[in-house]
Structure 1
Amino acid sequence: MAHLWLLAICMIFGLSLFTRFTVIARVTTTTKRLTKMPPTTSNVQDLVDDFFYYFAYGSNLLKERIQVQIDGARYEVNGHLPDYELSFVDFGMRWRGAPATIEPIKGSEVWGCIWRVPNSFALELDKQEINYERLNVTVEVPTQKNSDGTIRKIVCRTYRITDPNRKPQQPSPHYKHVIVSGAIEHGLPEYYIEKLKKIQDNGFKGRVELDLEAIRELNALGLTDREVARKYSMSETSSSDTTTTPFQNLAK
């Protein structure tokens, strides 16, 4: 009888140790997974890799511009986003004109750069695009093929303005110049660069917030900050009721 009691005690003790080690193992595994999760990520692949792909179509086409805040960004390849169109809406004080966004339009296209961004910069990128909504898009890479001959596609993070009250406006010459310079720098298709060059700007003369080498001459021209505030106030620039995007006004 005594040996049965001893056996029962041993079994209970062993079960207790097994349960304790199982709980510890689960907690350790969960902790490791959580520490790999980058700030504000929405892409499951981000939990596996230590970077994410970012599709830039505006000022972040230019290496000098993106690395002002995201100095860990590394150029990967050019990308083609079908069924979206480049547009400029509202007014931003940083650039003294309308910032770029993309609108879902069947049959249109947007070209841009795919950047490899460390997860440690995820939150900083969100801050830079503070008035934008983050989303994932599937970007084509026409210069690269899969083993079956199909075009390589990369799921990328990008940003767009989704304010229901947004209105098409014109970008500043500075902003347009940075976008065109980035497109040329990375060799986007020539016909697309020509489209970018034909976008009408708002004619602003003066300084913008970013002191980039690419726009240093433009920053040295024209108006004082007080004149800028008077000429390019939000009330003046929000009066347009134009309903077409810049690219819709150009010959395809």
Structure 2
Amino acid sequence: MANTFLYFAYGSNLCAKRIHLCNPTAIMKDIGYIKNFRLDFYRYSKRWHGASATIVETEHSVVWGIVWELDKCNLATLDCQEGVQDNIYHAMSVNVETPGGRTLNCRVYQQCNNPKEYIKPEDFPMDKRPSPLYLNTILKGAKENKLPTDYIKFLKTIPDNGYEGDYDISFSLL
């Protein structure tokens, strides 16, 4: 039995500083993408003061992210961070394709309630927009892990909600 598992991060856990808060065993293994999913923002996050990221099944779309290897002792902390116990996200298994041609089976989290209709990110209504800090954390992680330039450009098209208050984050991510 392996003592580790692979996790595909596409949101704030793209950022190494963020994932290591609750999951100190995380080691970056590779970048990759999942096919037939799109990145979307839906459920309001009290922590982030805006809509949080999810993946939604969508043909001919891809979501890029990071493959982290974690010790199984962090499985419960990762589930807790993602709100599995509160039915915010549920864990599922996906095949992640890497630029080097490998296919890795990874744990990923998807919101329990996802948007039914597709809205282009630039047309997101205010309630579907992430906060500036959350979006910047995702962008920081995408850049630090050298996700494809076109995907980073796509992330930059996502409007934020303009929130300027305090966050429930106990450290500086940026």
Check whether TM > 0.5: yes
Go from structure 1 to structure 2 and tell me whether the alpha carbon gap of 1:165 and 1:85 turns closer, same or farther (over 3 Å shift): closer
Alpha-carbon deviation of 1:165? 7.5
Give 1:163's match in structure 2, choosing from 106, 113, 116. Answer: 113
After superposition, the C-alpha distances for 1:70-124 in whole angstroms (9 at most, x for unaligned) are: 0111110001111100000021100000010000100000000000010011111
Whether the 8 Å contact between 1:80 and 1:141 is mirrored in structure 2 is yes
- Give the structure 2 partner of residue 70 of structure 1: 23
Distance 1:212 1:188 in 2: 24
Give 2:74's match in structure 1, choosing from 111, 116, 121. Answer: 121
Report 1:129-208 matches (<5 A). 129-130=82-83, 131-142=88-99, 144=100, 151-163=101-113, 169-208=128-167
Whether the 8 Å contact between 2:54 and 2:114 is mirrored in structure 1 is no
| Range 102-111 or range 205-214, more displaced | 205-214
Alpha-carbon deviation of 1:197? 1.1
SS of the aligned residue for 1:213 comes to: coil
Off by >2 Å, runs of 4+ in structure 1: 164-168, 211-215
Distance 2:115 2:65 in 1: 26
Whether the 8 Å contact between 1:90 and 1:166 is mirrored in structure 2 is no
Report 1:44-63 matches (<5 A). 48-63=1-16
CA RMSD of aligned residues (A): 1.5
Gaps of 5+ in 1: 1-47, 145-150, 216-252
Alpha-carbon deviation of 1:164? 6.0
Whether the 8 Å contact between 1:83 and 1:108 is mirrored in structure 2 is yes
Q: Considering only CA atoms, is the larger Rg found in Structure 1 or Structure 2?
A: 1
Alpha-carbon deviation of 1:166? 7.8
Q: Which amino acid aligns with 1:140?
A: E
Alpha-carbon deviation of 1:163? 1.8
Distance 1:165 1:188 in 2: 25
- Give the structure 2 partner of residue 222 of structure 1: none
| Range 127-136 or range 157-166, more displaced | 157-166
Gaps of 5+ in 2: 118-126
Matched residue pairs, number? Answer: 161
SS of the aligned residue for 1:99 comes to: strand
After superposition, the C-alpha distances for 1:128-187 in whole angstroms (9 at most, x for unaligned) are: 111101000000012x2xxxxxx2100000000122678971100000000000000000
User: TM-score with structure 1 length normalisation?
Assistant: 0.61
Give 2:41's match in structure 1, choosing from 88, 91, 94. Answer: 88
Q: Which amino acid aligns with 1:175?
A: Y
Alpha-carbon deviation of 1:214? 2.9
User: Which structure carries more strand by proportion?
Assistant: 2
SS of the aligned residue for 2:102 comes to: strand
User: Which structure carries more helix by proportion?
Assistant: 1
| Range 54-63 or range 71-80, more displaced | 71-80
Tell me: higher relative CO, structure 1 or 2? Use CA pairs within 8 A at least 6 residues apart: 2
